[in-house]
Every structure is written in C-alpha cells, then in structure tokens.
Structure 1
Amino acid sequence: MSSNSLNRFRVRPAEPRDCTEILRLIKELAAFENMPNAVKVTETDLLRDGFGSRPFFQCLIAEANKDDAMQETDIVGFAMYYYTYDPWIGKLLYLEDFYVMDEYRGWGIGTELLKRLSQQSKPTAAACISLLLFGTSHL
C-alpha cells in the first residue's frame, strides 16, 4: 500500500442512495464465489431493510479514486453487518458480507473497513465481532 492510497479512499456509513452500488457489489461477490444466480435481493429490498424505520442491517461503504484527488469516487467495497445476541457472551456484531473489488485490493481498504467495524461495536458494548469465512481470497 502506498502512502498516497490513504488519501485515495474513504470509508463511510452507507446511505439510501448507495443501494444500487451495494447491490452491484453483492452480485460481484456472488459471482466471485461461483454463485451468480444466488442473489435474490433487490434495490428495493436493500432500501427497505437497511434504511427503513427498523433496519435489519447496517453497511459501511468504501469509496476510492485512482487519482490523488477525491473529486469523483467509485464505491469499491462494503461491509454489511447487523447486531445480534448470543446467550453465552451477550451482544455481538455479526459481519455478514465483506468485499473489496479486485483492482483496489492492497490499498488498505479492507483493513480500514475492519477497523471501522471494531469502532462500531464499542458504542453498543458488543462483546465481539463474529464472522464466518468460506474463503479468504475476497478479503
């Protein structure tokens, strides 16, 4: 990772306007995992389920630009998560999906997404972050 790459991406909470890009990344991840037809969720589902009055998930977005300026950015990664409860350990943050586009890997974007997730768990006093990895090549 070059020192300039830190100035070429940012991580932020997803907004309703990001649903098109979130769905694109979900489909890219499914294709990467050789399951391109497995995605049934729609933009409407994402909007309702993530940004309605009682959200079922939360999402962090990574935006990047190949140039040094952050004038026009592309959404190149995401981390979708939700809070749940484990009767043995208490509150936890569950990382459902995590993906960074291939051409942006090595920039530190995945590391920053995970760092931000750990910060998200602190205000809720979540005991841990839980995730299940089927393969690590999409990280």
Structure 2
Amino acid sequence: MTSISPPAERRTMPLPDTIKIRLACREDASALHAMINEIAKATMCEDKITSSPDDLARDGFGPNPAFEALIATADDIPVGMCLFFPSYSTFRGQPGLYIQDLYVAPNQRGGGFAKRLVGAVAKHAQTTGKTYIRLSVDAENMVGQRFYEKLGMRHAEDEKIYVLDGNAFEALANAK
C-alpha cells in the first residue's frame, strides 16, 4: 500500500542542504519499519502491521531478498523510502517492478522527495532490465492518485487486486 506526500504547502521545514537517495541495507531495517508504521497510521491500518524490523532485515537483506528499498535522507537522516520487488507481465512478456510502499516524512512533504524516489526506482528498473512499474493506491487516497497520474501513470481500470491470506490462505494451502 502506498502513501503519498500531500501538497507543498504542508511542508514545514526548509529543504535540507544534503539530499541523497540510496539503496537500503540491513542496517536500515528499523528505519524502513518505522516508516511503514507511519503509512499504517496515515491510512488507519495500524492494526494490520504484524511485521518487525527483524522480519524486514531477514527478508530484504538475506541471500534471497524478497524486496529492495530506496532510502531518502536529508542531512543523513532518513526522511523517505520506497520499497519494491520484481514483477513479471505475461501479457507484455517483460519484467518490471512493483512498488509496495512509498513514504515521505510529513515535515519533508512537498519538497520533491516522492517524485525523486519513484524516479530512482524507475532508473533502477531500467538499469536492471525492467520495463515497467506497477503499484496500488488506496481508493480514497486522491492525493496519491493525482501524484501518480502527474508522473504519467495510469489507472488500469480492467484490474482489481485480490488478496488471499489468513485462514483462507491456510485452508487453501492445506486443502486436499
């Protein structure tokens, strides 16, 4: 689930002197988890968070990483992140990336971090042979939808996202 920066007038701090975007490493797991928790708060989904920083460290930075992430820092302090993983389109016959989470700290919103993060993911995708980016946005997140449209993304009206988890996942996985 992605969360997006609100309009520029909500930014409360001046742009920092040093803005960097880099690939996250194992030591960033706590910062990533804290930002994921902030997304959950903003979308009123705090009760859905069951992951821990240790889960992210294990699953994102082990021998077979399930995801990658970019960290945006302002004066060496993490202020944003974009977590993504591989995707494959059988219709296109091409690999891509799926953005799972995008976050920018409230005091840095409106400063271009979100656009720079998504742009960095696009560049990373391009340099690793990927040809597209997909993501989902909460139906009620109009700011996010407008942001992605401004980047050139389009809503795939012929698709709906379904999830199989919890008891239904267990029942199907264990069905005979």
Unaligned runs of 5+ in 2: 1-7, 9-13, 148-176
Partner of 2:126: 122
Partner of 1:100: 104
What is the aligned residue count? 130
Partner of 1:7: 17
| Residue 51, structure 1, aligned to residue 55, structure 2 | no
Amino acid at match of 1:18: D
Could you tell me how far apart the structure 2 residues matched to 1:13 and 1:7 are?
20
TM-score with structure 2 setting the length: 0.69
Which structure would you say has the larger Rg?
A: 2
| Residue 32, structure 1, aligned to residue 42, structure 2 | yes
TM-score with structure 1 setting the length: 0.86
Partner of 2:127: helix, strand, or coil?
coil
Q: Which structure carries more strand by proportion?
A: 1
- Is this contact kept in 2: 1:6–1:107, CA < 8 A? no
Partner of 1:116: helix, strand, or coil?
helix
Partner of 1:67: none
Structure having greater relative contact order (Cα 8 Å, sep ≥ 6):
2
- Is this contact kept in 2: 1:60–1:113, CA < 8 A? yes
Partner of 1:31: helix, strand, or coil?
helix
TM-fit CA distance, 1:114: 1.1
Could you tell me how far apart the structure 2 residues matched to 1:21 and 1:86 are?
31
Q: Give per-residue Cα distances to partners, 1:37-62, cap 9 Å, x unaligned.
A: 21111111101100000000000001
Could you tell me how far apart the structure 1 residues matched to 2:58 and 2:87 are?
19
Partner of 2:118: helix, strand, or coil?
helix
TM-fit CA distance, 1:136: 4.7
Structure 1 residues 106 and 93: alpha-carbon distance in aligned structure 2, compared to 1, 3 A threshold: same
Aligned-pair RMSD on alpha carbons?
Answer: 1.8
Could you tell me how far apart the structure 1 residues matched to 2:131 and 2:77 are?
33
- How much identity, in percent, do the aligned residues show? 26
Partner of 2:153: none
Partner of 1:133: 137
Structure 1 residues 9 and 136: alpha-carbon distance in aligned structure 2, compared to 1, 3 A threshold: farther
TM-fit CA distance, 1:137: 3.9
Could you tell me how far apart the structure 1 residues matched to 2:111 and 2:56 are?
27
